[in-house]
Chain A
């Protein structure tokens, strides 16, 4: 076998150069509690989350850092909230471009404008635009910081997994390095190795769904223009550069341009810089100077694995589910996978929950993946109508949207990426319908200002009891799970009242380590909390 580890793509940031490690000298595989495969945003975030929880974690990546080129771009509010819990959000906000206004054009006419400005009283904006390599670098920087504070994280660059043997209570990996192969054993493996997941292939698992018969050209261009920081989307643009077109701002004076090219195209000819320039020129007008920074042609697929847990192997991010980019539900949903998986895997590794808790990761995130696939399929069907009649209706919506308000919400160039609410999850406990619907069990806790601070900054990482206008003991240990309590007064805090109390006099919330609501009551009841806690950890026999 050729021991060279070829780079499949150039790097934007070399973050963890290959170093020979002690495991390579051993004849038998050294066993690790958790191995993460893949150094993309999902692998890095999983590693960081587990490491911060004190779980010994090893990340294997066949590259040495963040790949160059444009992939994920729009990072949603929930992703920033999760990154904040992981200590990585600040540089993202600083570097990212915040935007709220989207304009939709048909031919040469603006037909619709939307404002994503969320309600006030949230720490993070609806979206930032940030190139994926930066997102990865900021996660890596947070990992390096956590390592220097003692988090048991190890990253091995240019370590490529070439084979996997699954056993009942562990997996064994054959890992190739520039110094040749060695073996690693893992109690738990988290496969974050992308849409073409080699791990999934090695395990012979299926990845079914739908391919959209269309090609999209990405051109990232650097230019000095004073276009507003808005998302502009054209259906059937007058400049004829594609069946649809998108213009969106990124950091560093770079703009993302997308053209819909159709199905039967000559990829090679379309990627000729002169051809790309003719499309971009037509869009921007004759006197705009720009530099092509990155170009690629891609097709869309919407598909998922049947379940995301297979014994000791857990799939997260694109390896488990893939969506079209309209609606920003790729990386954003992957980060929610991380959020859901981290605390469950940590509890199982620490022995405070039964491993059946990990089945709920699959259940909850399959549910979310279905929602994301549905949303992204609907947007793609609107942008790329699949039949003659579908296109007739699409254009009827666009024609009407220009004149009458009712048709505007039907125009779909990608919906706001919102976190999934785990309605009906078997981890959800008691509910009290006097309390506001938006914070029902299964929902991610809504952020709320607390003076100069924010509610979400106080939640997460472990189970919390949030008591509003109610007295509860300062510390609680129920069923051997440590609970932190937060007591808040709704006096003078309209947002807190509206989001958590409604018409009720007081409220008690049990909140999971991923900031999702597990159960809630209008009065403190320690026995009820214990029952809900057992349910939320899905392992009563252990506690």
Chain B
């Protein structure tokens, strides 16, 4: 990992995490899935850098407990 930030980068992690969970409150599974998808696309565009996005994808894939 050369470009992707893997050290803590959020000043108030509890606040941001709470906001993420709160955004899903009261949503059905379908609505939550759609929200997550929109959020990923918005953040991907904000990052913009394909190298970082691919590193993030690789990190997410390697962290999947169901995949050997």
B33 to chain A, nearest CB (A): 5
CB pair A396–B45 under 8 Å, yes or no, is no
Kindly report which residue of chain A lies nearest to residue B42, judged by CB atoms. Answer: A400
Kindly report which residue of chain A lies nearest to residue B35, judged by CB atoms. Answer: A396
CB pair A410–B41 under 8 Å, yes or no, is yes
CB pair B41–A397 under 8 Å, yes or no, is yes
Is A114 in contact with chain B by the CB < 8 A criterion? no
B10 to chain A, nearest CB (A): 23
A4 to B21: give the CA distance in the assembly, Å.
Answer: 73
CB pair B37–A393 under 8 Å, yes or no, is yes
Cβ contacts under 8 Å, A410 to chain B: 41
Cβ contacts under 8 Å, B24 to chain A: none
Q: Tally of A-B residue pairs with Cβ under 8 A?
A: 26
Query: Which of A392, A395, A396, A407 counts the most chain B CB atoms within 10 A?
Result: A396
Task: Kindly supply a per-residue 1/0 record for chain A positions 392-430, scoring 1 wherever the CB is within 8 Å of any chain B CB and 0 otherwise.
Answer: 110111011000101100100000000000000000000
Cβ contacts under 8 Å, B38 to chain A: 396, 399-400
Is B19 in contact with chain A by the CB < 8 A criterion? no
A475 to chain B, nearest CB (A): 49
Is B34 in contact with chain A by the CB < 8 A criterion? yes
Cβ contacts under 8 Å, B41 to chain A: 393, 396-397, 400, 407, 410
A402 to chain B, nearest CB (A): 11
A410 to B44: give the CA distance in the assembly, Å.
Answer: 12
A400 to B45: give the CA distance in the assembly, Å.
Answer: 12
Scan residues 33-57 of chain B and give those whose CB is less than 8 A from a CB of chain A: 33-34, 37-38, 40-42, 45
B49 to chain A, nearest CB (A): 14
Cβ contacts under 8 Å, A393 to chain B: 37, 40-41
Cβ contacts under 8 Å, A400 to chain B: 38, 41-42
A400 to B43: give the CA distance in the assembly, Å.
Answer: 12
Kindly report which residue of chain A lies nearest to residue B48, judged by CB atoms. Answer: A406
Could you tell me how many residues of chain A have their Cβ less than 8 Å away from some Cβ of chain B? 12
Kindly report which residue of chain A lies nearest to residue B38, judged by CB atoms. Answer: A396
A399 to B42: give the CA distance in the assembly, Å.
Answer: 12
Query: Which of B38, B42, B45 counts the most chain A CB atoms within 10 A?
Result: B38
A73 to B42: give the CA distance in the assembly, Å.
Answer: 36
Scan residues 47-68 of chain A and give those whose CB is less than 8 A from a CB of chain B: none
Cβ contacts under 8 Å, B40 to chain A: 393, 396
A397 to B37: give the CA distance in the assembly, Å.
Answer: 8
A387 to chain B, nearest CB (A): 12
Task: Kindly supply a per-residue 1/0 record for chain B positions 6-17, scoring 1 wherever the CB is within 8 Å of any chain A CB and 0 otherwise.
Answer: 000000000000
CB pair B45–A392 under 8 Å, yes or no, is no
CB pair A406–B45 under 8 Å, yes or no, is yes
Kindly report which residue of chain B lies nearest to residue A394, judged by CB atoms. Answer: B37
A396 to B45: give the CA distance in the assembly, Å.
Answer: 13
Cβ contacts under 8 Å, B45 to chain A: 406-407
A304 to B43: give the CA distance in the assembly, Å.
Answer: 37
A8 to B61: give the CA distance in the assembly, Å.
Answer: 51
Kindly report which residue of chain B lies nearest to residue A406, judged by CB atoms. Answer: B45
A397 to B33: give the CA distance in the assembly, Å.
Answer: 13
Scan residues 365-414 of chain A and give those whose CB is less than 8 A from a CB of chain B: 389, 392-393, 395-397, 399-400, 404, 406-407, 410
A352 to chain B, nearest CB (A): 45
Cβ contacts under 8 Å, A395 to chain B: 34, 37
Cβ contacts under 8 Å, A397 to chain B: 41
A106 to chain B, nearest CB (A): 13
A111 to B15: give the CA distance in the assembly, Å.
Answer: 34
A389 to B33: give the CA distance in the assembly, Å.
Answer: 8
A291 to B22: give the CA distance in the assembly, Å.
Answer: 55
Scan residues 19-33 of chain B and give those whose CB is less than 8 A from a CB of chain A: 33
A31 to B48: give the CA distance in the assembly, Å.
Answer: 60
CB pair A392–B42 under 8 Å, yes or no, is no
A397 to B41: give the CA distance in the assembly, Å.
Answer: 8
A393 to chain B, nearest CB (A): 5
B22 to chain A, nearest CB (A): 20
A56 to B42: give the CA distance in the assembly, Å.
Answer: 60
A285 to B49: give the CA distance in the assembly, Å.
Answer: 45
A407 to B37: give the CA distance in the assembly, Å.
Answer: 12
B57 to chain A, nearest CB (A): 13
A397 to B38: give the CA distance in the assembly, Å.
Answer: 7
Kindly report which residue of chain B lies nearest to residue A393, judged by CB atoms. Answer: B37
Kindly report which residue of chain B lies nearest to residue A396, judged by CB atoms. Answer: B37
Kindly report which residue of chain A lies nearest to residue B37, judged by CB atoms. Answer: A396
- Which of A392, A404, A406, A407 is the one whose CB lies under 8 Å from B34? A392
Task: Kindly supply a per-residue 1/0 record for chain A positions 312-344, scoring 1 wherever the CB is within 8 Å of any chain B CB and 0 otherwise.
Answer: 000000000000000000000000000000000
A477 to B67: give the CA distance in the assembly, Å.
Answer: 64
A406 to B43: give the CA distance in the assembly, Å.
Answer: 11
Cβ contacts under 8 Å, B42 to chain A: 400, 404, 406
Residues of A within 8 A of B (CB): 389, 392-393, 395-397, 399-400, 404, 406-407, 410
12 new A-B pairs (CB below 8 Å) besides A393-B41, A410-B41?
A389-B33, A392-B33, A392-B37, A395-B34, A395-B37, A396-B34, A396-B37, A396-B40, A400-B38, A400-B41, A404-B42, A407-B45
Give me the 7 closest cross-chain CB pairs, A-B, nearest first.
A396-B37, A406-B45, A396-B38, A392-B37, A393-B37, A392-B33, A396-B41
A-B CB contact pairs (8 Å), 9 listed: A392-B37, A393-B40, A393-B41, A399-B38, A404-B42, A406-B42, A406-B45, A407-B41, A410-B41
